Amino acid sequence: MPDQQIVYVDMDDVLCDYSGAHDNATRSQPDIAYPQSIAGFFKGLVPISGAIEAVNKLRKRFDLFVLSAPSTRNPLCYTEKRIWIENHFDYAFTKKLILSPDKGLFRGQFLIDDHTSGRGQERFDGELIHFGSPRFPDWNSVLEYLAE
């Protein structure tokens, strides 16, 4: 795959609904300051609409990796994110999962992320596709852009 472009995809709020789960947990368990610290939190996240289909399309065209920042509040998140990838994709794709607190360390053509800074996104070597922004509000807009 050396001739394929490298694309990184964030997990939380790009592949799976972290914010929705966090909000629900905060409402149902207000005494827990960091709901993401609860065992099973990351494993049970619901996919973002269109994410699974879009990633499967992108995997055929790009050298695609999942690049996600781990939660320091929940050491189980490392395992749970890996399980999430296998449950929603396949075992082979677990070998393309990278967990790093600094996304600026990586080189590639594209990073699809819901944040533009905070985890090194501003130092990413390639182009940042700001998922959830007016230009890229959903997976269809990302697929259209990457098809150009």
| Res 2: pLDDT | 55
Q: Burial code of 29-46, b = ≥16 C-beta within 10 A, e = fewer?
A: eeeeeebbbbeebbeebe
CA atoms of 3 and 15, how far apart (whole Å): 25
pLDDT of residue 1: 46
Ranges of the chain whose pLDDT falls below 70: 1-2
Whole-angstrom distance, CA of residue 46 vs CA of residue 61: 25
Residue numbers annotated as active site: 10, 12
Distance separating alpha carbons of residues 133 and 96, to the nearest angstrom: 25
Instruction: Please tell me whether residue 26 adopts helix, strand or coil conformation.
Output: helix
CATH of domain 6-147: 3.40.50.1000
**pTM, two decimal places:** 0.93
**Terminal Cα-to-Cα distance of the chain (whole angstroms):** 20
Q: How far apart are CA 26 and CA 70, in angstroms?
A: 20
Continuous H helices in the chain: 18-28, 51-61, 77-88, 91-94, 139-147
CB atoms < 10 A from the CB of 55, how many? 22
> What kind and span of H or E run contains 64?
strand 63-68
